[in-house]
Amino acid sequence: MSASDGCLSVVMPCYNEVATVDEIVSRVLASRFTGELIVVDDASTDGTRDRLSRYDDPRVKVVLLSENRGKGAAVRRGFAEASREFVVIQDADLEYSPGDWDALLAPLARGDADVVYGVRTQEGPARRVPYFWHMICNRMLTLLSNMLTGVRLADVATCYKAFRLEVVQSLELRENRFGIDTEITAKVAAGGWRIWETAISYTSRNYAEGKKITWKDGIAVFVCIVRYAVSVRVCRSSQSTSTSRIS
């Protein structure tokens, strides 16, 4: 079974992306899966808000935050607005392609998965390679997350995470910045939701082009992994206790 037309709520956190926002919005709206696009602007100051005010497609909903709080805060707000069968996070740059949504949504549409992670690869057409230390840091953080949650993922920090709407509605998220990725992973694992992965394309950008994550965010993500791993352990302990009592 394939995903149906208009089945997708696209949550797009956006901060100072005037150079790319028009192009990525165009690509998102060109997809047959897009039922609604929720752009959450995190107090941009570069003219992005002016661009967002020009969209007249009825599928586009623009939410303007009054102060800059971070990607996590924008994602949380976007999740609260989502209403379609499936939900996907889409960055407002051009690193991720909506052309990968077919593969991303397929396990959800078949009923095999509740959450699907898009694993960034370097296969396919030629593209700029990512920063070396970003790659190493991501692998280390993914390994740590896997060790503490018990879920074996290849790319915990990928932007492309697709969900059934009920999964999104069940998540009580707190993180304001990039720790949102590992918080989502820990709480999806704690909830016992079925997680699948699929390969996606990825075209890295550099800091001159607007890349925002830094080594400080890497440290914060490390702290988040440890913090939210506790919730996984508590949840599993509670489930084991309940099972023992039933037995």
Give the DSSP letter of residue 207. Answer: G
Residue range 174-193, pLDDT digits in tens: 999 888 999 999 999 999 99
Best-predicted range by mean pLDDT among 94-103, 117-126, 225-234? 94-103
Q: Does residue 129 carry a pLDDT above 60?
A: no
Comparison of pLDDT for 2 and 68, the residue scoring more = 68
199-223 tens-digit pLDDT: 999 887 554 554 556 666 667 777 7
Torsion over CA: 94, 95, 99, 105 (sign): negative
234: CB partners within 8 A, 6+ apart: 190
**Residues 184 and 160: beta-carbon distance below 8 Å:** no
Residue 73 has pLDDT above 60, yes or no: yes
pLDDT tens sequence across 226-243: 788 766 655 555 555 454
Integer CA distances (angstroms), 86 to 5, 62, 227, in order: 11, 19, 28
> Does the pLDDT value for residue 132 go beyond 70?
no
What is the set of domains in the chain, with CATH numbers?
Answer: 8-246 (3.90.550.10)
pLDDT for position 148: 84
Q: Is the pLDDT of residue 224 over 90?
A: no
Nearest-5° angle of CA 48, CA 90, CA 141? Answer: 115
**First CA to last CA distance, the chain:** 38
Report the C-alpha gap between 155 and 120 in whole angstroms. Answer: 7
Single pTM value for the model: 0.84
> What dihedral do alpha carbons 217, 135, 224, 229 form, nearest 10°?
180
The span from the CA of 10 to the CA of 90, in Å, is 6
Helix, strand, coil fractions of the chain, as percent rounded to 5: 45, 15, 40
Query: What confidence score (pLDDT) does residue 126 get?
Result: 46
